Structure 1
Amino acid sequence: MSALAAEPHPDAGNGWEDLVRRWESMDWPEGCKVEIIEGIITVAPSPANQHNGIAEEIQRRLYRVIPEDWGIYQTQAVAIPARAGMYVPDLLVAPKAALRESSGHFIPAAEAELVVEITSRSNANHDRIAKAAGYATAGVPLYLLVDRWAPGGPTVTLYGQPASDVYRVLRAVPFGEKIHLPAPFDLTLDTAEFPSA
C-alpha cells in the first residue's frame, strides 16, 4: 500500500472539501482501491483471490435476508468528514435510495446498515483501528471485520452499538466457527467456508 500525504495545494482551499476534490480528480491506477484514511490518501492494489472469495460468500448470503429496497455494494465510497475519511468498504449494505439521492462518488457513511472489511496483509491495521473508529463515529450500526491476518489466527469480529468513535465487540470467532448477525439481518455465517491462506 502506498500513501499520498494530503497537503493543500497553494492555490486550493484547505480542509475536507479540498481533500475530497483531490481524491475525486486524481488519475489513480485502474483497479486500485483509493481511500482517505485519517486525512491521507491511500492507494492499495486490487484484492487477492481469497479476499474476493470471502466477499462473494458473504454477499451471497446477505442477498437472502435484506429487504428489496436495500443493496449490497463492493465499490461504493462512504464519507466520514469528522474523521477525515473516505472509505471504500469491501461490502456495504445500504438503502438503494441513499445512492439515488446522492450525486457524485460517495454517500455519507451514516446511510450504511452494515459494512464489511476483509483485511489484506498491507491494510489490516487500517481496518482494525482507523476504520473501526470511523464507522463508529458515523454511527454505522454493524461492522463485520474478517481478519485473515489477525495475530492470534484468522478471526471474524462483529462490532455493534457504536458510541462516539468506539464499538462494542458483539462476537468474535476464529475461522471455522459460525457468527450470527442480529436483526435486521438475522443471519448466521459459517466462517468454515472462508479461505484462511
Structure 2
Amino acid sequence: MPVKADRPHMLTEEFEELAFTARNRMEGLQLEFIDGQLRSRALRDGSHGVVVQWLTRICMQHHPELWLHPGRGLKVQAGRNGRAIPDASLGHSAAFAGHGEWSDPDPVLMAVEVTSWNSDTDRRHRQEKPRVYAESGIPVYLLIDRAECEVSVYSEPDGQRYECVRTVPYGRDVHLPDPVGITLRTEVLKDWVH
C-alpha cells in the first residue's frame, strides 16, 4: 500500500522524536516529514552558506526589524502535520522566541531554499516545497536554484499553490513582492554556482 498524507507511515509525533534523535546523534543530519513521508536533507556546501549570508545582508539593509532565520523547523501543510526546514525563514527578529523545535509558519513572510547537489532537488525544491509552503500560507517562497542558475519567486498563495511564479536567470533583477518588497540583483549568484 503506498504511503499518502492521509495514511502516513508514521505519526507526526513519532517523526519529531526520530528527527530529534537523528539530529543529536548524527551531526548535520536533518529530517523533514512531507506528505506523510520521511525525507533527509542533503549536507550544505560552503557556497550554499554564502548565498544565505548574501541574502541575509540584503534583507537586513532593507528591513532591519526583520531577520532571516536559518534552518527554522516549520509545521506545514493542511492541519500542520508536515514538518519542513527551509534554508531560511524571513520574519521579525523575535518571531520564534520561546518556540520549540517546530513552529507555526504564521510569522514567516518568506521561505527560502537554495538547491544542493542531490538527486531529489527537482521533487523537493521545485514541486513539494512550493506546494507545502503555499498550503501553509507563507506569502513568498524564494528558490535560488544553483543547478539551473535561476531564481524563482512564488507569491500569492491560495491555500493549495502559489498563483504567481516568476523565474529569471542569474544576472537579471527580480522583485520579491510584498510583504518583502525587495529587488534582488542576482549577478553575484553566478560566483556561487559550485
What TM-score, normalized by structure 1, do the two folds share? 0.81
Match of residue 142 from structure 1 = 140
Match of residue 47 from structure 1 = 44
Q: 3-state DSSP class of the match of 2:83?
A: strand
Q: Following the alignment from structure 2 to structure 1, what is the Cα–Cα distance between the partners of residues 82 and 25?
A: 18
Say yes or no: does 1:108 pair with 2:101.
Answer: no
Amino acid at match of 1:118: V
Q: Deviations over 1:123-156 (max 9, x none)?
A: 4120111111000000000000111123xxx110
Q: CA deviation at 1:101?
A: 4.3
Q: Following the alignment from structure 1 to structure 2, what is the Cα–Cα distance between the partners of residues 74 and 97?
A: 13
Match of residue 132 from structure 1 = 130
Say yes or no: does 1:161 pair with 2:156.
Answer: yes
Distance 1:113 1:182, change over 3 A: same
Say yes or no: does 1:77 pair with 2:68.
Answer: no
5+ unaligned residues in a row in structure 2: which ranges? 1-7
5+ unaligned residues in a row in structure 1: which ranges? 1-5, 9-14
Q: CA deviation at 1:60?
A: 0.9
Q: Following the alignment from structure 1 to structure 2, what is the Cα–Cα distance between the partners of residues 18 and 43?
A: 15
The higher relative CO (CA closer than 8 Å, separation ≥ 6) is in: 1
Say yes or no: does 1:22 pair with 2:37.
Answer: no
Residue correspondences, number: 181
Match of residue 91 from structure 1 = 88
User: Quick check: 1:36–1:87 contact (8 Å CA) kept in 2?
Assistant: yes
What TM-score, normalized by structure 2, do the two folds share? 0.83
User: Quick check: 2:174–2:185 contact (8 Å CA) kept in 1?
Assistant: yes
Say yes or no: does 1:176 pair with 2:174.
Answer: no
